[in-house]
Amino acid sequence: MSYLSHPERATGRELQSLDLFTHESMHVRGELNEALTECEAVQRNYRAARLLGVPDKAARENALRYYNINYQQRGKIGGMQAAYYSDQCAPGKAMDEHLSDSTWATP
């Protein structure tokens, strides 16, 4: 709710909370593998924010920020965080679902 109240200045924690919402939604769909689930989530964080009413520009910028910063840190931290990361989760790589409204799609 704090993210939705000021999406233009979302904190890292608020971006994490949006991703948690998207990530768990992917589990509800039936995905069990954590790396695939998280990659499905990062590609849909833009869509999820729009569905929750976040303005388009902020939704896209924040979704990209989560992918470029929060997500990439996972791969560097390693350990348990590494289970949620794959270098194949990137535009044009194996986990790219080529969604028309992907976080990665050019507006």
- Least separation in angstroms between CB 35 and Zn ion: 10
Q: One symbol per residue from 6 to 45: x for binding Zn ion (CB under 5 A), - otherwise; what is it?
A: ----------------------------x--x--------
- Least separation in angstroms between CB 107 and Zn ion: 28
Interaction residues for Zn ion, span 44-103 (CB under 5 A): none
- Least separation in angstroms between CB 16 and Zn ion: 13
| Distance linking the first and last C-alpha atoms of the chain | 26
**CA neighbours closer than 13 Å in the CB half-sphere of residue 92:** 0
d(C-alpha 47, C-alpha 4), whole Å:
14
The first and second tokens of residue 101, run together, are 């409204």
d(C-alpha 63, C-alpha 53), whole Å:
14
Provide the binding-site residues for Zn ion, judged by CB under 5 A.
34, 37
